[in-house]
Structure 1
Amino acid sequence: MTQRDHILSYLAEIARLIEGLGALAPQIEAAADMWVEALSAGNKVIFCGNGGSAADAQHLAAELMGRFLIDRNPLAALSLTVDTSALTAIGNDYGFDKVFSRQLRGLAKAGDVLFGMSTSGNSGNVVDAFLTARELGVKTIGLTGQSGGRMAALSDLLIAAPHDKTNHIQEAHIAIGHLICALTEAALCSPRP
């Protein structure tokens, strides 16, 4: 296969994946509704994930705190992936599986939404955060690959990207995240004059 063939094949796979996301429209709408309900009540959206999903968690939190498509006031959001001192201290003292749940216990309140991202759906620290969220009355949205993994049973709402390869799942995740941001922003915000 030539480089050009590889490029065209890869892009064709992404196109099929993105087109297939239409089947997830009900879950995407439901996720936006959960965000809108939480934010309207003075609560926040909390993000977590590992590796590329950590980067996406920060990205989506920034879209809400900054702006996405509309110049507007910030929407309350944070990512549990950004505080390296907390991550390393908690990881060292309690184990890596506790890095998100420990922060959640200190920062979350009932009515918040936890948006956990894991391509496998089996990331131990995200799973542990979902268990903690249940104890705290925090709603959970799981964004995973097609199997859903352990997060499937722990999510109030599961959005499973229809693919089994990490890179393509992550490509779907950012498209889904952007859609939820756009729907949330449109529901809550009027553009500034």
Structure 2
Amino acid sequence: MSQDLISAHFQSSVAGLTRAVQSPELLATLHTIASDIAAALKSGKKLLLIGNGGSAADAQHIAAEIVGRYKRERPAWAAIALTTDTSALTAISNDYSYEEVFARQVQGLGQPGDVLLGLTTSGKSPNILAALKVARAKGLTTVGFTGAKGESMRAFCDHVLIAPTEDTPVIQQIHLMSAHGICDQIEHVLTTEATKV
């Protein structure tokens, strides 16, 4: 009898998500990240996002939720996925190196008080770590999303979300679910504050 890989993936995903939601530390980290991003957006700062491959797609997805909307009608907020400008990506990679592809953009676009969110399932992507170093030096709040093997990423981040699994697709699912939770929290906080003014 052949193994049901689809069912196995669902089971692995449910197990990873269950571990995540049952982790007080992970949930507390998410609340802190949401609070920092909300404070930045409220003060007119922006969220920058970076990632490779599937994580690049997640960066774009999250940026769209912030600039457009997640669930609530509200003003647009500033978020930029640094994974989308093909001219910048190719020029920087060609003229410098792929390791500098995000760091150079952070150097040019990042301002003190902004937030940089770097997504890397391994926690070891050189171009993500290089950008986080530049962001810290410029006074940005640095946030990392990674997986169970990415603990070393803490050295480069103010806040780190560690998905409790080593399975890359499940890490990515936890990252996106976490980002959606953050978006929901940000919208709730900022739209509630706006109605009180």
Question: Could you give the per-residue CA deviations for residues 20-68 of structure 1, whole angstroms, max 9, x where no partner exists?
Answer: 1121110110110110111111101110000000000000000000010
Identify unmatched segments of 5+ residues in structure 2.
Answer: none
Question: Which letter does structure 2 place at the counterpart of 1:81?
Answer: T
- Deviates most, 15-24 or 107-116: 15-24
2:111 to 109, 112, 115: 109
Contact 1:133 1:140 in 2 (8 A): yes
- Percent identity reads 42
Q: Distance in 2 between matches of 1:110 and 1:10?
A: 41
The equivalent of 1:131 in structure 2 is 133
Q: Distance in 2 between matches of 1:165 and 1:46?
A: 26
Contact 1:122 1:149 in 2 (8 A): no
1:149 deviates by: 4.7
Question: Could you give the per-residue CA deviations for residues 131-151 of structure 1, whole angstroms, max 9, x where no partner exists?
Answer: 001110001010000122542
Matches within 5 A, 1:84-103: 84-103=86-105
2:164 to 154, 162, 168: 162
Question: Which letter does structure 2 place at the counterpart of 1:18?
Answer: L
Q: Distance in 1 between matches of 2:54 and 2:5?
A: 23
Instruction: Report SS of the residue matched to 2:117.
Output: strand
Q: Distance in 1 between matches of 2:93 and 2:191?
A: 38
The equivalent of 1:11 in structure 2 is 10
Question: Which letter does structure 1 place at the counterpart of 2:77?
Answer: L
The equivalent of 2:120 in structure 1 is 118
Contact 1:43 1:112 in 2 (8 A): yes
Instruction: Report SS of the residue matched to 2:124.
Output: coil
Paired residue total = 191
- Deviates most, 147-156 or 158-167: 147-156
Superposed CA RMSD: 1.5
Contact 2:146 2:163 in 1 (8 A): yes
1:105 deviates by: 0.9
Q: Distance in 1 between matches of 2:82 and 2:29?
A: 23
Matches within 5 A, 1:17-166: 17-22=16-21, 23=23, 24-166=26-168
Q: Distance in 1 between matches of 2:31 and 2:63?
A: 18
Question: Could you give the per-residue CA deviations for residues 54-100 of structure 1, whole angstroms, max 9, x where no partner exists?
Answer: 00000000000001010111111011000000000000001001010
Q: Which aligned segments of 4 or more residues in structure 1 are displaced greater than 4 angstroms?
A: none
Instruction: Report SS of the residue matched to 1:163.
Output: coil
Q: Using structure 2 for the length normalisation, give the TM-score.
A: 0.93
